[in-house]
Chains A and B, each alone.
Chain A
């Protein structure tokens, strides 16, 4: 813990584990609720975390969701070991997807994940290396409601 005002926790996410996909994001949501973060912020964090977590389950071998909560903002880092993203600009386009039929049957893989994460973020950064993995850094500021 860097200082007393910051709460941090990380949740492991397993690639291909569709049965538990979303559990980490639900836990992040519960933590924010307990802390008493505003409903709008909780919603944006939960949606961004869930989309990112689904990407780990769908595309990576393993990864983790890390959340740090300070009085100023919620920071989500979703990092995975996996295939990585070849062209981030393309992946950021709504509708662009490399999803398989199995992923689409889960109700995902329509090329809306990354754009939706960005939409819910105040700051959003994707870094990725093909064959190694992807890191997503999402920051959502508290100022609007708290």
Chain B
């Protein structure tokens, strides 16, 4: 599924990297704990999180996440957005809480990271 579709499903807005909405997402991880995100062995995963500080973007770069969706209406500071632009990591924001966001994406066939990640 491409990021643009995820944006529609979650009624999300784009905060950074508006021109990268055509990237493919194969799996989703939902966590506020960056150490937890760093234990994944897959790359190209979409992160759903309520953690809006710069560490979310740094973690995305280190763990090679495809993009980040901030849930429950949380908005990052400007420095987080700037870092994401610089590192080319798309940021989205949705008003939906984490559970609903996960549920909607799962319903549309997006799997978690415990499932084998399919080739795009």
Contact = CB atoms under 8 A, between A and B. Distances in A.
Given A43-B64, A116-B39, A119-B39, A21 B33 contact: no
A26 B58 contact: yes
A2 to B, nearest CB: 28
Interface string B71-111: 00000000100000001000000000000000000000000
Contact of B38 (A39, A47, A105): A47
B34 A47 contact: no
A106 B63 contact: no
Nearest to B61: A26
A101 to B, nearest CB: 14
B39 A107 contact: no
A80 interface: no
A107 B59 contact: yes
Interface residues of A, number: 24
Given A21-B55, A107-B55, A51 B38 contact: yes
A105 B39 CA distance: 18
Given A47-B63, A116-B39, A21 B58 contact: yes
A1 interface: no
A108 interface: yes
Interface residues of B, number: 24
Interface of A: 18-19, 21-23, 25-26, 29, 39, 43, 46-47, 50-51, 105-110, 112-113, 116, 119
B37 to A, nearest CB: 8
B120 interface: no
Nearest to A30: B61
A19 B79 contact: yes
Contacts of A105: 53
Interface string B35-60: 11111010100000101011110110
Contact of A112 (B39, B41, B64): B39
B62 A108 contact: no
Q: Which of B36, B41, B58, B64 has the most CB of A within 10 A?
A: B58
B72 to A, nearest CB: 16
Contacts of A112: 33, 35-36, 38-39
Nearest to A45: B62
Q: Which of B49, B55, B63, B87 has the most CB of A within 10 A?
A: B55
Contacts of B54: 18-19, 21-22
A12 B32 CA distance: 28
B56 to A, nearest CB: 7
